[in-house]
Amino acid sequence: MLKDNNNEYTWGNVTVKLAKAYGFCYGVERAIQIAYETRKQFPDHEMWITNEIIQNPTVNKWLEKMEVKIIPVENGEKQFDVVDKGAVVILPAFGAAVNEMLTLNNKQVQIVDTTCPWVSKVWTSVEKHKKGTYTSIIHGKYYHEETLAIASFAGKYVIVKDMDEATYVCDYILGGKLNGSSSTKEAFVEKFKLAVSKGFDPDTDLVKIGVANQTTMLKGDTEEIGKLVERTMMRKFGVENVTEHFMSFNTICEATQERQDAMYKLVDEKMDLMLVVGGWNSSNTSHLQEIPENRGIPSYWVDSVDKVGPGNHIAYKTKDGELVKKENWLPKGHVRIGITSGASIPNKAVEDILLKVFEIKSEEFSEDA
């Protein structure tokens, strides 16, 4: 019904506007389909997956019921010793690190790879950095499984989570002449101790740089970081020499970009509040939440319908991951709500949450009667 009316629907005193692009992307649908088909083809085999296949609790519970087990982690290390020879092991949509794949190959297991093609594209980019002896500056979250996998394909690398960290790196390259945010080599190493390759030396490893990104980061942020690094290398080594010191490829996922672009268009419309539906550990959903928050629009990031209610109550997360519980989040009277969902969320989850919203607003009529 929403799609038949320009993605907009009014029921009583609620008008809902759905983003033009939302929900499941090709990579996610492909990963789920492959995983389900794998269980059908290997009905009696022991089956493992190196991590959650996607960042959707419902889908991961379905796989658990199908006896697809996640390889356990102890002290930050995956315990591959639980995997026996001949088992089937699924690699999730955001891939697996090189050392993990080598370990599994040595164990003589059947590997089923559901890695998203866009993630593989980033691997190819950082491998080109490595072959050209470029250090990869990776825009991402150093602890995220996708970024860990990307880094495993790189040679030298440093991971920056945002523009502030990228600026720090660039300031160091320019000897503190960008904005003075950096200081000593020791301070650099300490700041990025969990986000650099082994033996990383900022004095020698930031002479040739390639830029890549975790596919779910904000498109605009990645582009700005790339421009900043390129300008820095021009300033350091001269415009005429920049191609010898800087390399960049477009590694922004099309589906992520489409959903972010659709959210920007949605916040440009007059909305009273926004609903963002997606797993609370989902990077792509956190960036969708970031867009309305940065515009000062009330926005509620929920991972399931269970977080809405009872009554006019909601439990949601902010872009920074803070859990907030709020009463009377739906204002009285007519309300315009913009809604979107992350790439790992089925349409049914969005429908369930909208029905809950309509139910809450219908109770408002009963109270006023």
185 HSE (CA, 13 A, CB side): 8
158 touches 138 (CB < 8 A)? yes
Pairing of strands 135-139, 157-160: parallel
CA distances from 27 to 31, 86, 252 (A): 6, 27, 14
Question: How many angstroms from the chain centroid is the CA of residue 52?
Answer: 13
Q: Which of 52, 100, 146, 293 is catalytic?
A: 146
100 HSE (CA, 13 A, CB side): 27
- Helix or strand (DSSP H, E) at 323: strand 323-327
DSSP 316: E
Structure tokens at 332: 């009285």
146 is catalytic: yes
80 touches 103 (CB < 8 A)? yes
Backbone φ and ψ of 37, nearest 5°? -65, -35
The burial of 304, by beta-carbon neighbours within 10 Å (0-12 exposed, 13-18 middle, 19 or more buried), is given as: middle
Q: In what order do the strands lie in the sheet with 299-302?
A: 8-11, 14-18, 335-341, 273-277, 299-302, 313-317, 323-327
The burial of 155, by beta-carbon neighbours within 10 Å (0-12 exposed, 13-18 middle, 19 or more buried), is given as: middle
Q: Which residues are catalytic?
A: 146
